[in-house]
Structure 1
């Protein structure tokens, strides 16, 4: 009797291509047909589709896909700051820089490689960058797509020359949902949060789930490592798991503010 086994080569599941503006991008695929598109402009995942071809991320059709402007939507990488403080641009500069592909990435662990494709991107400062933020670093981003369609982003920041620096970091994920009034976030109950609409005043979440009836801009503190976003109209649940990032930001600009954003409303 002859036995055979299917072998999945992650390298065959990676396509290097360009977007409609000529920017380099990488497409990851898994054996079931799920995909993720990663742009070297900002190191951003701007598309994530399940095996039915349904788009799970929001990227604005009005987005400006040309550096140095950061693209609205997808999963922006916010580094070396999240928010608007100091002399740097809002949410830092990583989301507007051109990243490079690491041609010799560390391999996946054998127990974690079945059906998974991944790409490693690198960001290092240019001489011009060092003028506005004078620290030498290497920021590595690994984007991986698992056999079950799960998307994972892993970042590491390395100090190159030993000069101490501090930073903040966030994945500013835009999820594609239906009617926002049909969406609820579970896992944040009883937690304290800073309300950016009220000068970062601190409150405690009172509800058993967060729902949306107006603009929301909050940072929930010391959150559990898994929260769920339930979209009742689409009968879809996103489970977001994290490690090493203590807080969770929840933002929805609502109708008035979103209409004022030229690169958001569509």
Structure 2
């Protein structure tokens, strides 16, 4: 169903493929066997597998893999807005567009490519985009897979317009979990959040961790750069590290909303949670020629139910 041509270097592999809709994909592999799959549809990471071949990201069994519908799962790139406001579609247009490989990206620090497999992608506005958001920009995305199997995403937005513009941004990260009732998120305690289930009313987190018993849709503000998502049943902790993304969105649709979504299984809310590095409360404004950078790094460590023993400093996170 796919055809491919592999291109190898001395440590890593970058494989170009097409899916059943003829949409280009890139598969990045580590020497130990971990992999990332990136679709040109949305510049979206659609799969992250560890060395044992286990899928670490959630994608709905009912996801639609054909533009202009966004893919339900993986890591959609939300730009130039997150949410549903104005003339743009929900979460902006970037996740619905066909991106291209960036053959001539501006340089990034050597550490963002050395010893890693990576791909540089580019999105520029088309006439349809300008009608709803009349600005000229370049959105670049570097997707990396480190030797140890950890992915990183680095986005850069440049204003090539004649006037300033403002935008919001999010990496809408769908994590695969054993059972949402066995999941807790640590690192967001005592923070203020905007509750999307209450017209974005502002509250303060009272719990020592976030757990799930019903629908959750919150934007945590001015968050730390390291967040832990603990999966008790699998004794696995996702560690999310971010830069340039001060907010964190936590979302699980629960039963009622799951049944209302055509591209989401009725019971699939039990196997996923979205924890998004985001820039929402205070949108970025870029003057002509200015550039913004946002970064997301993911890793997985073995854990017990409590992450008190997780020392992010000694782990180099």
TM category (shorter chain) comes to over 0.9
Cα shift readout 1:191-236 (whole Å, capped 9, x = no counterpart): 0101111111111111110000000000000000000000011111
Cα shift readout 1:12-50 (whole Å, capped 9, x = no counterpart): 510111112221110000111000000000000000001
User: How is 1:1-266 mapped onto 2 (pairs within 5 angstroms)?
Assistant: 9=9, 13-106=13-106, 109-111=109-111, 113-265=113-265
The verdict on how the C-alpha distance between 1:10 and 1:195 changes in structure 2, with shifts beyond 3 A counting, is farther
Secondary structure of residue in 1 paired with 2:15: strand
CA RMSD of aligned residues (A): 1.6
Secondary structure of residue in 2 paired with 1:257: helix
Q: CA deviation at 1:55?
A: 0.3
Q: CA deviation at 1:102?
A: 0.9
Secondary structure of residue in 2 paired with 1:20: coil
The equivalent of 2:299 in structure 1 is none
Cα shift readout 1:54-103 (whole Å, capped 9, x = no counterpart): 00001112111111111111101000000111111100000000000012
Mapped to 2, the partners of 1:162 and 1:241 lie a distance apart of 34
Mapped to 2, the partners of 1:183 and 1:36 lie a distance apart of 24
The verdict on how the C-alpha distance between 1:107 and 1:167 changes in structure 2, with shifts beyond 3 A counting, is closer
The verdict on how the C-alpha distance between 1:189 and 1:76 changes in structure 2, with shifts beyond 3 A counting, is same
Unaligned runs of 5+ in 1: 1-7
Q: CA deviation at 1:113?
A: 4.2
The equivalent of 2:298 in structure 1 is none
Secondary structure of residue in 2 paired with 1:166: strand
Q: Which has the higher strand share?
A: 2
Unaligned runs of 5+ in 2: 1-7, 269-317
Mapped to 2, the partners of 1:31 and 1:106 lie a distance apart of 27
Secondary structure of residue in 1 paired with 2:166: coil
Q: CA deviation at 1:143?
A: 0.5
The equivalent of 1:4 in structure 2 is none
TM-score (norm 1): 0.93
Mapped to 1, the partners of 2:222 and 2:96 lie a distance apart of 28
Contact 1:10 1:117 in 2 (8 A): no
Mapped to 2, the partners of 1:155 and 1:66 lie a distance apart of 23
Q: CA deviation at 1:175?
A: 0.4
Q: CA deviation at 1:131?
A: 1.7
